[in-house]
Chain A
Amino acid sequence: MNKIAKLFVTFISAITLALVSFTSSFAKVEGEYIVLGSAISLTGKYSSNGVHTQNGYNMAVDRINKMGGVEVQGKKYKFEIIYYDDESNPKRAAQLAERLIKQDGVHYMLGPYSSGLTKAIAPVTEKYKIPMVEANGASRSLFTKGYKYLFAVLSPANQYLEVAIDLAVEKNGGKGVKIAQAFEQDAFSQDVRLGILDAAKRTGSEIIIDDKLPKELNDMAATLAKVKAVKPDVLVVSGHTKGALTAIRQISEMKVDVPMLAMTHCDAAKLSKQHGKKSEFALCASQWHKNLSYKDKFFGSGKKYAKDFQKEFGYDPPYQSAESSAALLVFKDAFERANSFDRDAVRDALVDTEMQTFYGNIKFGPGGQNVAKPMILFQVRCKGDDCENRVVAPTKWASDKFYHPIPKWSERS
């Protein structure tokens, strides 16, 4: 026994030594760099959107640094981001937030991807009074917890598809419609569902199918079989990127005819590229579209942003990238107005944010959500085999008319 004991003591002391040598604390501001921290899903079920988010962050960091950086008290600083992979797991995300703050000495955080992970990180940043500007946590419950250091540049999730129901009712001559819906079991999609429930109540619509989809989403045939049988007016599906891809794949395979199909995450899933004509007429909620006419001095217009993004990363930016880039513009603005690196000064400056970016207007409500920017809806439309997303609502931004109802599969070529 004593031999094992000795071994164990040696082991423990080795670990202690290792631990001590690991404790290298970055400062919040190191030399000419302002260090931001972020846990991002580089692996796991959110990995594709995690990468969109990271690309958005990196794009903005490069641009801001190239254009002179952040000026605080007469000195120019550059942004730098420390990334960790949260593996799409809330438990890991909370742990990494703690690590960023305590071990890497990060004083300003950028959000992770998805509402669930933001929910896991927010209590940590709140505890240490670390301002976090997040771009990908839309769940309404994030903004009702009284968090003081959480700022979201996006509109809350329950607003995503409410407009779609209004549209359907309008097309139905103002009468309530029959809604079939299927949502992934996660914080974001469940919030989208709440929005639909509200809209249904408001418009006197009836929900005839209300299904839950599993998290590792790759089959929803059961729901679609029901849809085929009961013929609703609208089918609503939300389940991040995989949900959008699965829905289109199986709807086209099973030839499900439904007059209106409303979804989320179509652009992140690159639906119009991956499924081409099969995805035509899908109606999608989006935080942003490149054709909107917002402007700023860093990225110019949305179109310019999309072009630069395409050049840098080789694909059209989904709104997840755009809103992530906007988060850094917000931070830059707040640092300069606070003219200080004091966390509370920066936090107070964030509260007073009122600005326009290429992504949209940004002004934070009392809960931290962005109240200055509406959601938009676009519809996938094709010319020959070339499909693209056209904005159809709200009318102010619309570049195309909303096509309704979706033609039957037997009539589609």
Chain B
Amino acid sequence: MNKVKQKDLILYSGLIILGLAAPYLFSAFKVQLTYLCVLIVLAMTWNLQGGEMGYNTFGNILFYGLGMYLTASVQVGMFFPLAEWTESGGEKTFVHTTAQYFQGIGVGLLVSAIIPAIIAGAIGYAILGLRGHYFAICTLGLGIAAGEIAGGIEIIGAGQGFTTPPFPAEIVDTEARGKFFYFLSFALLIGTFVFVKYIYGSRFRLILNAIRDNEDKAEAMGIQTMKYKIVGWMCSAFFCGLAGGIMGGLIGYIDSTDVAFDGREMGVFMVLMAILGGKGTLWGPVIGATLFHFFKEGLWTLILGWQYVALGVLIVVIVVYFPEGLMGWLREKYPERFGEVIDEKDRKAQVELK
């Protein structure tokens, strides 16, 4: 057992070193790498609901968008009147000092983690009683409604969009902004991974699985399923909010339906990535997101105009040939490579019992 742990240690330190070195090794790709980190976070958190709990949510985009608006609003609102910043036409120019910028984004991210979690709790209380496709459709509406509502609130820019504070001009290094957002998102990725891994080793995951496999039985066994469902969703919302906050700062411009509550793209992508990699596994969403991102960045520009057709084909291929995702497919093909020797022993034990 210890030996395995040591190997894990090597793997993780290797990955962390790679992650830390990446913005220097592939300096030109910093933004794509930042996107990758955020995509992995979104896929992993979606997997908590869709994969572990069996509740296919399209609503996580709500927390992502909320995080985006909250971070930017706090970052501006702490130092300047928010209404004047976002006022249509924006006659006045406000400039954040370096200290203000970082304080603002720090507090903003904190808020963008907590408030979405609270909102997830409240909404979850109301709708987590729904099951199966009723829940899916209901959450689909959440993101769309949020986008339309945000598009009508003047103080956050409404249809004009919200330009987030520019990176402080006093920092002359043009690479600094890219590095800052990369490391921020990488830290978030590590945080999310550690958290999800912790959940994977805990009773909490078993409860989520029990809910997925048979909710009524789980309830009959005395598990307060509602409580766990809500807590699970709040955990996802926490990290989704942070991811949104970072993305808002990186993109620099928040549009209600195209950037923040972007259910059509991000909302679908997070589901797709988790399914591509294999839902209900720790590494599946990570691998799915990585593959998806490379597919998107590498191929999309080569097939201009046809990229959504290609995406459609990809979805069909995944669903038809890899319904359990890549991890599931590999696991079925090479079960022994997944450390399923325990199964072997079990089987022998069972044979002996007979």
In this assembly, does B323 line the interface, its C-beta being within 8 Å of a C-beta of chain A?
no
Interface residue count on the A side (C-beta < 8 Å) = 63
Measured in the bound complex, the distance between the Cα atoms of B159 and A3 in whole Å is 50
Q: Which of A52-110 contact B (CB under 8 A)?
A: 83-85, 87-91, 94-95, 98-99, 102-103
Residues of B within 8 A of A396 (CB): none
A95 & B301 in contact (Cβ 8 Å cutoff):
no
Interface, chain B (partner A; CB < 8 A): 4, 7-8, 11, 14-15, 18, 25-32, 35, 88-93, 148, 151-152, 158-161, 163, 166-167, 174, 177, 247, 250-253, 255-259, 262, 265, 283, 286-287, 290, 294, 298, 300-301, 304-305, 307-308, 330, 334, 336-339
CB distance from A296 to the nearest CB of B (A): 31
Residues of B within 8 A of A95 (CB): 31-32, 35, 251
A145 & B90 in contact (Cβ 8 Å cutoff):
yes
Residues of A within 8 A of B294 (CB): 15, 18
Measured in the bound complex, the distance between the Cα atoms of B18 and A98 in whole Å is 22
- Which of chain A's residues has its CB closest to B301's CB? A84
- Contacts A123-B166, A123-B252 given; does A89 touch B258 at CB 8 Å: yes
Residues of B within 8 A of A15 (CB): 290, 294
Residues of A within 8 A of B262 (CB): 89, 91
CB distance from B89 to the nearest CB of A (A): 5
Measured in the bound complex, the distance between the Cα atoms of B290 and A9 in whole Å is 13
Residues of B within 8 A of A184 (CB): 159
B4 & A2 in contact (Cβ 8 Å cutoff):
yes
Question: Which of the residues B91, B256, B334 comes within 8 Å of A144, measured between beta carbons?
Answer: B91
Task: Tell which of B26, B88, B152, B253 has the most Cβ of chain A within 10 Å.
Answer: B253
A124 & B35 in contact (Cβ 8 Å cutoff):
no
A190 & B305 in contact (Cβ 8 Å cutoff):
no
- Which of chain B's residues has its CB closest to A12's CB? B18
Measured in the bound complex, the distance between the Cα atoms of B156 and A185 in whole Å is 13
- Contacts A19-B26, A120-B251 given; does A146 touch B11 at CB 8 Å: no
CB distance from A223 to the nearest CB of B (A): 15
In this assembly, does A337 line the interface, its C-beta being within 8 Å of a C-beta of chain B?
no
Measured in the bound complex, the distance between the Cα atoms of B161 and A139 in whole Å is 11
- Contacts A103-B29, A190-B158 given; does A144 touch B88 at CB 8 Å: no
B163 & A94 in contact (Cβ 8 Å cutoff):
no
Residues of A within 8 A of B25 (CB): 16
Residues of B within 8 A of A222 (CB): none
A23 & B159 in contact (Cβ 8 Å cutoff):
no
B89 & A158 in contact (Cβ 8 Å cutoff):
yes
A43 & B330 in contact (Cβ 8 Å cutoff):
no
B31 & A91 in contact (Cβ 8 Å cutoff):
no
Question: Which of the residues A84, A141, A212 comes within 8 Å of B88, measured between beta carbons?
Answer: A141
- Contacts A103-B28, A141-B88, A187-B160 given; does A42 touch B305 at CB 8 Å: yes
CB distance from B186 to the nearest CB of A (A): 14
Measured in the bound complex, the distance between the Cα atoms of B177 and A116 in whole Å is 22
Question: Which of the residues A7, A123, A144, A190 comes within 8 Å of B330, measured between beta carbons?
Answer: A7
Measured in the bound complex, the distance between the Cα atoms of B231 and A90 in whole Å is 33
A85 & B330 in contact (Cβ 8 Å cutoff):
no
Interface, chain A (partner B; CB < 8 A): 1-5, 7-9, 11-12, 15-16, 18-20, 22-23, 25, 42-43, 83-85, 87-91, 94-95, 98-99, 102-103, 116, 119-120, 123-124, 126-129, 139-141, 144-146, 158, 183-187, 189-191, 193-194, 212, 214-215
Tell me the dominant secondary structure on chain B's binding face.
helix
CB distance from B127 to the nearest CB of A (A): 24
12 A-B pairs with C-beta separation under 8 A: A5-B7, A7-B337, A8-B11, A12-B15, A19-B29, A90-B251, A91-B251, A95-B32, A119-B163, A140-B89, A141-B88, A215-B258
Residues of B within 8 A of A140 (CB): 89-90
Question: Which of the residues B28, B93, B265, B334 comes within 8 Å of A102, measured between beta carbons?
Answer: B28
- Contacts A5-B7, A94-B253, A127-B167 given; does A22 touch B298 at CB 8 Å: yes
B290 & A187 in contact (Cβ 8 Å cutoff):
no
Measured in the bound complex, the distance between the Cα atoms of B63 and A38 in whole Å is 32
Measured in the bound complex, the distance between the Cα atoms of B251 and A42 in whole Å is 21
Residues of A within 8 A of B14 (CB): 9
Q: A2-B11, A5-B7, A16-B18 are in contact. List 10 more A-B contacts (CB 8 A).
A: A1-B4, A7-B337, A12-B15, A19-B26, A23-B26, A90-B255, A128-B174, A141-B89, A191-B89, A191-B160
A83 & B304 in contact (Cβ 8 Å cutoff):
yes
Question: Which of the residues A9, A90, A194, A214 comes within 8 Å of B253, measured between beta carbons?
Answer: A90
B305 & A85 in contact (Cβ 8 Å cutoff):
yes
Residues of A within 8 A of B177 (CB): 127
Residues of B within 8 A of A19 (CB): 26, 29
Measured in the bound complex, the distance between the Cα atoms of B177 and A121 in whole Å is 15
B93 & A4 in contact (Cβ 8 Å cutoff):
no
Residues of A within 8 A of B253 (CB): 90, 94, 116, 119-120, 123
CB distance from A3 to the nearest CB of B (A): 4
Measured in the bound complex, the distance between the Cα atoms of B344 and A222 in whole Å is 67
Measured in the bound complex, the distance between the Cα atoms of B174 and A16 in whole Å is 24
B15 & A91 in contact (Cβ 8 Å cutoff):
no
A98 & B89 in contact (Cβ 8 Å cutoff):
no
- Which of chain A's residues has its CB closest to B30's CB? A102
Residues of B within 8 A of A123 (CB): 163, 166, 252-253
- Which of chain B's residues has its CB closest to A146's CB? B93
- Which of chain B's residues has its CB closest to A123's CB? B252
Residues of B within 8 A of A187 (CB): 159-161
Residues of A within 8 A of B257 (CB): 215
Residues of B within 8 A of A12 (CB): 15, 18
Measured in the bound complex, the distance between the Cα atoms of B186 and A281 in whole Å is 58
Task: Tell which of B26, B160, B251 has the most Cβ of chain A within 10 Å.
Answer: B160
B159 & A185 in contact (Cβ 8 Å cutoff):
yes
A144 & B93 in contact (Cβ 8 Å cutoff):
yes
B89 & A11 in contact (Cβ 8 Å cutoff):
no
CB distance from A382 to the nearest CB of B (A): 34
Measured in the bound complex, the distance between the Cα atoms of B73 and A105 in whole Å is 34
Residues of B within 8 A of A139 (CB): 160
Measured in the bound complex, the distance between the Cα atoms of B300 and A399 in whole Å is 47
B159 & A145 in contact (Cβ 8 Å cutoff):
no
Measured in the bound complex, the distance between the Cα atoms of B32 and A23 in whole Å is 13
Residues of B within 8 A of A2 (CB): 4, 7-8, 11, 339
CB distance from A26 to the nearest CB of B (A): 12
B304 & A42 in contact (Cβ 8 Å cutoff):
yes
CB distance from B246 to the nearest CB of A (A): 13
- Which of chain A's residues has its CB closest to B331's CB? A4
Measured in the bound complex, the distance between the Cα atoms of B25 and A129 in whole Å is 23
